[in-house]
Structure 1
């Protein structure tokens, strides 16, 4: 258990009214702090929200506000509805919405105005402002369709990009790791390609793979459905597959305090849910060496080396109870049998170079050759690798074609339930395993320096959202993740031998390694809106054991 404890209050925005409520919230903070100190549970700011919100003002054609209008928001796929009434300023507000496609219908009181329905697409983390103008009575009801890109976010300060379902579905990815799509956003690069002193690269200390503004990829926050999936070294748990991801938001900088203490970027992922429709998908990718050209580094005398890959899976979603309870599951499998090529046996490296040979000839036959001839002969002999059979054998035995197999399985399932118009929740489970052989072998790295990686993780997340009033909502989440990783060196004994520029051999000094971790989180976010001001408070209790 970590020894440090932190509690941060999040985001006050110039609110001077409703003082009794604020005093009650401060009292609640004090009670929570005392509870945390008593139980010595680590606390940090809450993780980023996986929800959206929409607000706006209802006016007539002259710009006059329309109070007491009924605004109904209906999830197109699930059929669930929420209702709000405009205040004296004609403003309406919907908080804690699942990213989805909605129909927003406005009905003014008294029948003096025609009703109007607009279709909106709300994305993860979006704070949409969508005003509606009603026409005079007697005009036919109007229907509009508005995409998420056309909705103005007047309260957003962070630089962020949403990777949409269309991009996730259509853009090709070799290993179907959806986080690779974050590399399409400005200022984000592959941290695995950073080759400098900004990071200590050991096999068991994986990073997230995403560098924001040149960072080493270890200070990022990655969440799935609002639950953090970060390892102790800054890596990312493999939770849901690409087939189970609906969309995700990439926040690069200038994000609000509510997103926590991340020193890098934030990736906020939302998984798919079921709907009123029975739907599913099936995919497959199959490759074989018969249909590939020969690798330029494949010097196998017996012919083309082995290669085949199968990636397949699918998803299924359906209603358990229409407009109320929904189910979604996804499965994905990756099998790959391929060959890694290590070509360290280069005869040109076994003899002295031409410049070395010229130097030795000068020492032996030059004007001062007599006193330096024995030294030249000694140096020539020691720098000629063919005089050392054990070194020659080290390079020749390490060269050739070696199996590089990999297998991975993803499984996830999610059930969503709407208790009533003001309360909803869901539970999601996942399991993932990974086996990769001969990792790191290739180029100047011999197979004896390689290793086998065996990982397994599983977890469950429970979420419950309660709306107490039109401007007060609470979002509660708790999740548990179990993670185990085993790194086994191909050479169990060693020693580690590094011949700079020519080859690396033997067991990595940091291996073997076996690690496991249990992550337990409790997150709670409270949002209260009064007039033009918003108060947000949240905490995250976490324990790693």
Structure 2
């Protein structure tokens, strides 16, 4: 058998009919339109310019024989679009470009001086798309309330989006959450080992990218173009902020004290049912800010953001000993369980930052660099993922059953964009990303589970270690030819992932009795050979052998797509994508 096998070959052929349509773009947007005179006749070879109001960058193109123009690879933001032609006066209007969307902007040249201003916002009807999508704008991200400052949670405001309860990831159109493909600035932002957003399950409790650095993002549940792939569960297309010609900054401090949490009726009902206090919202602090501006006006820009989270919750260990009193039969077991009843504090802290440099080399070439990092530490927080534990201050698992959750991610991205001509554009992206998730155990002892009493000893899956590296290259060429807007590209990823993982590495004992009561368990007579002694285990489990798994996976994709504008009101979109995965061969047998 060949060592390299075709593990997936996905061919996507998209044929969509719409009023006007152009393919979406990863991390950028675009503008298209028709230039006509006041009588509705198209004007060929008209000069059209698009100028970024934020950075002053200006692009120029000409209309086709049908009066059609296209601008691609535009950063999201506000643009001034103007058109001029011999014997006609110049016309201009303002257009809002959004990530992943092509905005329709038609211009009319008259014999007199014409000036028009039109603002296209996220709520406007998009006639240039054949996808089912929604865009969360910068205004929405800044002003809508959110618990946790995890930008991906805003996706829940879009149609078909919900939480996948299996791993608490974003599910689109009923698919598994780990099947969605998340792109940030046009490159992959997925956790390669477990799936889902980078950061894995820890991303449900702490952000991995500062919310202040997210400009906007697009959620595509279905119908995405051939440019996007590696997904059966939709696309989340994110773009980060960059500096502008104006110096701008933000600062924030959010405090949620436990003492001010509303003790609503739902919480009170849980307290009555469990006969113990429930914390509606443990104490949490989040603070940080951002700053951005020009190094050189219209030329070189910077942006940086920083954010920190501090989370504290108290826990008390109380075993279900009920009315049992200490006796000669149960003294040793009783005293040991009572010695494990103690209080401790759970934490969920995170530090994260992002920096970005944008350089407009000249009118035809630009490059940007971005680096982001996050470090999360959750001490005694392994149980946070257990159902109902986060807001329950009383548990029956000893401190030895806890551990420290750590999560670290480092991402470097660079993008080079070049206008080779007024109808030919090239974009190249590079990414190096590393994720680390070591999980430490509070104790290295056998796990003991006593039914209806409690748990102590090492958590069944601790300690573990996991890390991954991703190197990614993306190359795409956009060509406008007559009524056609072609785009061809390739994508390559080299992924290495390592994990040390085992269940019950130090052994696991499970005790139970027919009545399942603490009294029966702790009253067993150790002097009676016919009695089931407390130290006579019902079940014992231990994993032995190699706990290591290391794989290298390579992914390769090619795609081509076209938006054929047969006439100004009728367009056909179609495309083809081929993906190939090279099956991994384990470096270490397991």
Residues 319-342 of structure 1, C-alpha deviations (whole Å, 9 max, x = no match):
011111110000011112222455
**Distance change >3 Å, CA 344–CA 188, structure 1 → 2:** farther
Q: Is structure 2 residue 459 aligned with structure 1 residue 508?
A: yes
SS in 2 for 1:347: coil
Structure with greater helix share of residues: 1
Which of the numbers 236, 250, 270 marks the counterpart of 2:197? Answer: 236
Which of the numbers 22, 26, 37 marks the counterpart of 1:49? Answer: 26
Q: Is structure 2 residue 300 aligned with structure 1 residue 325?
A: yes
Q: Is structure 2 residue 299 aligned with structure 1 residue 338?
A: no
Q: Is the 8 A contact 1:11 1:258 kept in 2?
A: no
Cα distance in 1 between the residues matched to 2:494 and 2:168: 21
Aligned to 1:368: none
SS in 2 for 1:147: coil
In structure 2, stretches of 5+ residues that fail to align are 17-23, 200-207, 384-388, 497-590
Q: Is the 8 A contact 1:48 1:223 kept in 2?
A: no
TM-score for the superposition, normalised by structure 2: 0.70
Aligned to 1:146: 120
Cα distance in 1 between the residues matched to 2:225 and 2:142: 30
Which of the numbers 30, 35, 54 marks the counterpart of 1:77? Answer: 54
Cα distance in 1 between the residues matched to 2:25 and 2:448: 44
**Distance change >3 Å, CA 74–CA 387, structure 1 → 2:** farther
Q: Which moved more, 1:334-343 or 1:220-229?
A: 334-343
Aligned to 1:310: 285
Q: CA deviation at 1:532?
A: 3.4
**Distance change >3 Å, CA 490–CA 473, structure 1 → 2:** same
Cα distance in 2 between the residues matched to 1:224 and 1:502: 47
Which of the numbers 232, 254, 264 marks the counterpart of 2:223? Answer: 254
Cα distance in 2 between the residues matched to 1:343 and 1:287: 27
Aligned to 1:436: 378
Residues 349-388 of structure 1, C-alpha deviations (whole Å, 9 max, x = no match):
x79xxxxxxxxxxxxxxxxxxxxxxxxxxxxxxxxx9985
**Distance change >3 Å, CA 395–CA 472, structure 1 → 2:** farther
Q: Is the 8 A contact 2:93 2:115 kept in 1?
A: no
* RMSD of aligned Cα (Å): 3.5
TM-score for the superposition, normalised by structure 1: 0.76
Q: Is structure 2 residue 480 aligned with structure 1 residue 529?
A: yes
Q: CA deviation at 1:96?
A: 0.9
Aligned to 1:201: none
Aligned to 1:198: none
Q: Is the 8 A contact 1:406 1:436 kept in 2?
A: yes
Q: CA deviation at 1:515?
A: 1.4
Cα distance in 2 between the residues matched to 1:415 and 1:276: 13
Q: Is the 8 A contact 1:327 1:414 kept in 2?
A: yes
Q: CA deviation at 1:433?
A: 0.3
Which of the numbers 221, 224, 241 marks the counterpart of 2:181? Answer: 221
Aligned to 1:189: 162
Between Structure 1 and Structure 2, how many residues are aligned? 459
Q: Is the 8 A contact 2:64 2:483 kept in 1?
A: no
**Distance change >3 Å, CA 141–CA 172, structure 1 → 2:** closer
Q: Is the 8 A contact 1:59 1:90 kept in 2?
A: yes
Q: Which moved more, 1:256-265 or 1:474-483?
A: 256-265
Q: Is the 8 A contact 1:9 1:537 kept in 2?
A: no
Cα distance in 1 between the residues matched to 2:483 and 2:453: 66
Which of the numbers 172, 176, 180 marks the counterpart of 2:149? Answer: 176
**Distance change >3 Å, CA 104–CA 485, structure 1 → 2:** same
Aligned to 1:38: none
Q: CA deviation at 1:508?
A: 2.8
**Distance change >3 Å, CA 157–CA 390, structure 1 → 2:** farther
SS in 2 for 1:478: strand
Q: Is the 8 A contact 2:25 2:101 kept in 1?
A: no
Which of the numbers 96, 121, 127 marks the counterpart of 2:96? Answer: 121
Q: Is the 8 A contact 1:273 1:416 kept in 2?
A: yes
**Distance change >3 Å, CA 502–CA 85, structure 1 → 2:** farther
SS in 2 for 1:167: helix
Cα distance in 1 between the residues matched to 2:307 and 2:437: 20
Aligned to 1:494: 446
**Distance change >3 Å, CA 10–CA 216, structure 1 → 2:** closer
Q: CA deviation at 1:495?
A: 1.6
Q: Is the 8 A contact 1:342 1:401 kept in 2?
A: yes
Q: Is the 8 A contact 1:223 1:268 kept in 2?
A: yes
Q: Is the 8 A contact 2:64 2:482 kept in 1?
A: no
